[in-house]
């Protein structure tokens, strides 16, 4: 029995198509590779990213001995005199800190001074609350943001300080 050459080619193409289809269905999809999501950046990596971003500004970023990330911004870039509304330069830093995967689930300590010429601690507390509220509004957990005080032995402070620490090995969701 002789078959038409066209039919032989059609049969071969159909066979190759079936093999290709079975092979494609049997192989894993690129998304199901089984690898876990990459861990978030460390606080040290986040400090470097922010340092590059805020290069040329008076923002000071450091990793403290306990591994926490500390950010300090001069008061004049944070609040108007006698006011507790966060100014845009401080807001830019707070936005990036609060939304960073490196700070997710972190414990926060915020502190803000009153005006340098005043001994009114109520303004300092109002400012620290404004910083806290801004962080919470951008995703920080309210129960993990504490308010501290500034202005110890060296006299009144002239910086707003934000410190965040993340327990090592844990990356809880917000």
pLDDT in tens, 60-88: 999 999 999 999 999 999 999 999 999 99
The answer as to whether 127 is a domain residue is yes
- Quote the CA–CA distance of 103 and 165 in Å, as a whole number: 7
The answer as to whether 152 is a domain residue is yes
The answer as to whether 150 is a domain residue is yes
The answer as to whether 118 is a domain residue is yes
- Quote the CA–CA distance of 110 and 128 in Å, as a whole number: 6
The pLDDT tens digits for 101-151 are: 999 999 999 999 988 887 778 899 999 999 999 999 999 999 999 998 665
Nearest CA to 41 out of 124, 95, 101 is that of: 101
Give the CATH number of the domain where residue 151 resides. 3.30.1330.60
The answer as to whether 31 is a domain residue is no
- The tokens of 126 are what? 């109002």
The answer as to whether 86 is a domain residue is yes
- Looking at the chain, the whole-number percentage of residues with pLDDT higher than 90 is 59
pTM of the model: 0.73
DSSP string across 71-101: EEEEGGGT--TT--SPPHHHHHHHHHHHH-G
Residue range(s) defining the domain that contains residue 93: 43-165
The answer as to whether 3 is a domain residue is no
Q: State the total domains in the chain.
A: 1
The answer as to whether 35 is a domain residue is no
């Amino acid at each position: 029995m002789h078959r038409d050459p066209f039919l032989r080619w059609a049969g071969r193409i159909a066979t190759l198509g079936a093999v290709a289809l079975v092979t494609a269905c049997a192989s894993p999809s690129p998304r199901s590779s089984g690898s876990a999501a990459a861990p978030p950046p460390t606080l040290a990596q986040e400090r470097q990213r922010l340092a590059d971003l805020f290069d040329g500004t008076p923002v000071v970023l450091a990793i403290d001995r306990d591994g926490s990330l500390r950010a300090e911004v001069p008061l004049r870039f944070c609040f108007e005199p006698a006011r507790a509304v966060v100014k845009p330069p401080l807001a830019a830093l707070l936005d990036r800190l609060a939304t960073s995967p490196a700070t997710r689930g972190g414990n926060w300590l915020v502190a803000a001074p009153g005006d340098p010429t005043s001994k009114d601690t109520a303004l300092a507390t109002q400012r620290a609350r404004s910083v806290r509220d801004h962080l919470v509004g951008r995703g920080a957990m309210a129960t993990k943001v504490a308010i501290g005080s500034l202005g110890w032995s060296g006299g009144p402070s002239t910086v707003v300080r934000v410190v965040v620490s993340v327990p090592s090995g844990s990356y809880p969701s917000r």
